[in-house]
Amino acid sequence: MIYLDTSVALAHLLAEDRHPPDDLWTEVLVSSRLIEYELWNRLHARGLAGSHGGAARTLLGHLAMIELSPTVLTRALEPFPVPVRTLDALHLASADFLRGQKQAVEVASYDDRMSAAARKMGFAIARSAG
Distance of alpha carbon 10 from alpha carbon 98, whole angstroms: 23
> pLDDT value at position 16?
82
Answer whether 68's CB lies under 8 Å from 31's CB. no
DSSP one-letter string for the chain: -EEEPHHHHHHHHTT-SSB--GGGGGS-EEEETHHHHHHHHHHHHTT-HHHHHHHHHHHHHTEEEE---HHHHHHHTS--SS---HHHHHHHHHHHHHHHTT---EEE---HHHHHHHHHTTPEEPP-B-
Answering whether pTM is above 0.85, one says: yes
pLDDT band at residue 88 using 50, 70 and 90 as cut-offs: very high
Section 39-53 average pLDDT: 96
Answer whether 28's CB lies under 8 Å from 129's CB. no
> pLDDT value at position 18?
83
> pLDDT value at position 128?
65
pLDDT above 50 (res 29): yes
Section 109-117 average pLDDT: 94
> pLDDT value at position 130?
44
What's the chain's average pLDDT? 94
> pLDDT value at position 25?
87
Adjacent-strand bridge partners of 29? 2, 63
What is the dotted CATH code of the domain comprising 2-125? 3.40.50.1010
Distance of alpha carbon 113 from alpha carbon 83, whole angstroms: 7
Range 121-125 contact pairs with CB under 8 angstroms and sequence separation of 24 or more: 121/80, 121/81, 121/92, 121/96, 123/3, 123/95, 123/99
